[in-house]
Structure 1
Amino acid sequence: MNIEFKWVGGSTWVLKIQNLKIACDPVLCPAGTIQDYKLFKTKRLEDPVFTEDDFENIDLWLITHGHEDHLDQDGLSRIKKGCKVVTHKNALARLRKIKEAEIKVLNWGEKASYEIKGINISLEAIPAVHGVNPIVALLAGGVNGYWLDISARDASRSIYVTADTVLHSKVTQALQGRHADLLIVVCHAL
């Protein structure tokens, strides 16, 4: 099974498996953009690196949560009708603007399955905890990580997408006994 991975920047990436394309958290604002979260502000340090072709014909979008450093207006415009979107509930209001996209909300532990272009995808929302301090984590809001089991013909791969998380007992408990072939970690500081 041939897998191609492209990191666009921050939490945004595109994964190509044969002719299937999966992308995550489209944030495409330029370097210098300020994102205001009321309690604090962040500034994008680097421009995202992508071509328009990178976001053509995305079959499945994974949205970890609704913060602007995971889903901005430029990125939202790349999610096209006809694609499938799996998301945390706090991004749903923004995603509803996309006409004719198939949107599925998953809570931690919930699963979804798809057969797209001859490839079977089983995914599960994995806990992701925004901070070590419980108050900070609560104020920052909910986040989904994702576990994907992908199979085509005689090959299969398991992929873990961490999202914005710290090492927490909820995360380690959900991952117990699992072994990922590919680990995709959020890289905001880069």
Structure 2
Amino acid sequence: MQTNRRNFLLAGSAMMATTAATTIGASGQSLAGENRQSNHQVNVSWLGGATMLIDFNGYRILTDPAFGEGEKAYFMGDPNTMFDLAKGPTSRYHARTTPFPGLDISSVDLMMISHMHEDHFDQHAEKTLPKSLLTIVPPADRQKLATKGFENQIALDWGKSKTINTPNGQIMLTALPAHHSANPQINKILGKGNGYWIRFSAGDWRKDIYWTGDTLPTDQVMSTLKLLGKPDILIPHMGAVGTTGPLGQISMGADQVLFMAKTLDNPNILPIHHSTYPLYLEPISRLVEKVDFASTRLDLLAEGSTIMYG
């Protein structure tokens, strides 16, 4: 099966027209506050899909940028429909069911990409983001990102780390295995993406976030996590994507997230990658129904909302 692994779900040449601007979003509102935080805390704003703005004492990280709205939010193959695996799915426009909350691009210091399927890096983001933005990227996507003009990259392979000194602390980023599927052949088709362990520290203060990327809790993923210990916050990609197509499930559902959380000694769960697009098949209500609130804290954000971890 000789399919271009990263382009399997990506659009070919279709681009959406958008005007570059400092502030994105129909409302023109920015989620970035006027005053940067001076105390030690991590603020996570969920902007829909896998897009977050993470603020650590004023240093801001943007994840998996997807800014498109409406019926033609982004252009990509559809993993939820039946197709010939040897040829790949037919690319089409995908809808976004919610408005993009808005983002002050000038406030972003670093971009992190789990992988470049276009529900994670869409055409609007490509057109709008400054090409000079420092970006953490999986090695498999380095060339793809460079062809779009983003050359200020740090490629992190599994097990590799990068430490960033900020004005008010330090951030250590470690790339972790992310398996779209439990089937190795499907993983080869879809390409090698990253999860990330993000350690924020300032003096004796520390906060650990595990951002899963698009992964299932495979043996390799879980054995790697056990070596790292318990994160304070688990940020899983959900939606049970692909369950109606030939790829099978390629993002976690509620049962898998709860299994992962239990194995990690029940950190706070902050679910993303749900509800924003019809692409995501499993409703977030499934997780709410299954959580044992006696042992597990579920931090369920509305799009455009922010939670503070001190």
TM class, shorter-length: 0.7 to 0.9
Q: Does 1:152 align with 2:169?
A: no
> Contact 1:59–1:116 at 8 Å: present in 2 too?
no
- TM-score, length-normalised on structure 1? 0.87
Which has the higher Rg, Structure 1 or Structure 2?
Answer: 2
Q: Structure 2-normalised TM-score?
A: 0.56
Query: CA 1:94 to 1:79, structure 2 compared with 1: closer, same or farther past 3 Å?
Result: farther
Instruction: Give SS of 1:156's match.
Output: strand
Following the alignment from structure 1 to structure 2, what is the Cα–Cα distance between the partners of residues 157 and 179? 11
Matches within 5 A, 1:1-190: 1-33=40-72, 34-36=75-77, 39-40=88-89, 43-53=94-104, 55-80=105-130, 83-96=133-146, 97-98=148-149, 102-177=152-227, 178-186=229-237, 187-190=272-275
Runs (5+) with no aligned partner, structure 2: 1-39, 79-86, 238-271, 276-310
Distance 1:136 1:81, change over 3 A: closer
Distance 1:3 1:24, change over 3 A: same
Q: What does residue 298 of structure 2 align with?
A: none
Distance of aligned partners of 1:153 and 1:81 in 2 relative to their CA distance in 1, 3 Å threshold: farther
How large is the Cα RMSD of the aligned pairs?
2.2
1:130 is displaced (CA, Å) by 0.6
Question: Per-residue deviation at 1:25?
Answer: 0.4
User: SS of 1:15's equivalent?
Assistant: strand
Cα shift readout 1:110-164 (whole Å, capped 9, x = no counterpart) = 1111112232111111000011222222211111000011112331111111000
Percent of aligned pairs with the same amino acid:
28
Identify unmatched segments of 5+ residues in structure 1: none
Higher relative contact order, chain-length normalized (CA < 8 Å, sep 6+)? 2
How far apart in 1 are the matches of 2:99 and 2:190? 24
Whether the aligned pair in 1 keeps the contact of 2:56 and 2:200 (CA below 8 Å) is no
Q: Which amino acid aligns with 1:7?
A: W
* 1:74-120, Cα deviation, whole Å (9 max, x unpaired): 12345435542110123223432446x63111111111111122321
Cα separation, 1, equivalents of 2:154 and 2:77: 27
Structure in which a larger fraction of residues adopt strand: 1
Shift of 1:2: 2.0
Query: Is residue 68–residue 96 contact of structure 2 (8 Å, CA) maintained in 1?
Result: no
